Amino acid sequence: MLNGLVMITFINQLRHEGDDLDDAILRGALTRLRPVLMTALVASMGFVPMALATGRGAEVQRPLATVVIGGLITSTLLTLVVLPALYRIFERRNRPAI
């Protein structure tokens, strides 16, 4: 959630500096790509030992870790792909008619 907020804030900053809507979205998404991917990768890798556990209590740990890793992957894709697309749709809708 914080990654999306930072991306939207950065895109808004680029727009206030005079960038075109599409350029600001593309530049903002590309600039935030690496930090978002690294955050999700580090968090996911932390759950890998739990997802591969076979010892006592693994029957509870494995499903939990799998769900968390899946959620991290899903939220990363939503942040990098869906959020910029939604931003573009809503900004075009809010743009005053000339």
CATH of the domain at 36: 1.20.1640.10
Q: Which of 24, 20, 23 is nearest to 7 (CA)?
A: 24
CA dist., res. 41 & res. 49, Å (int): 14
pLDDT-above-70 percentage for the chain:
95
Predicted confidence (pLDDT) per residue in 34-65, tens digit: 999 999 999 999 999 999 998 888 888 999 99
How many domains does the chain fold into?
A: 1
Give how far Cα 5 sits from Cα of 19, 32, 68, 85, Å: 19, 11, 21, 14
- Contact between 40 and 72 under an 8 Å Cβ cutoff? The reply is yes
Using 50, 70 and 90 to split pLDDT, how confident is the model at 93?
confident
Copy the structure tokens of residue 27: 């530049």
pTM for this model (two decimals): 0.79
Q: In this model, does residue 98 exceed pLDDT 60?
A: no
Average pLDDT of the chain is 90
Higher pLDDT, 5 or 2: 5
Domain that holds residue 53: 2-94
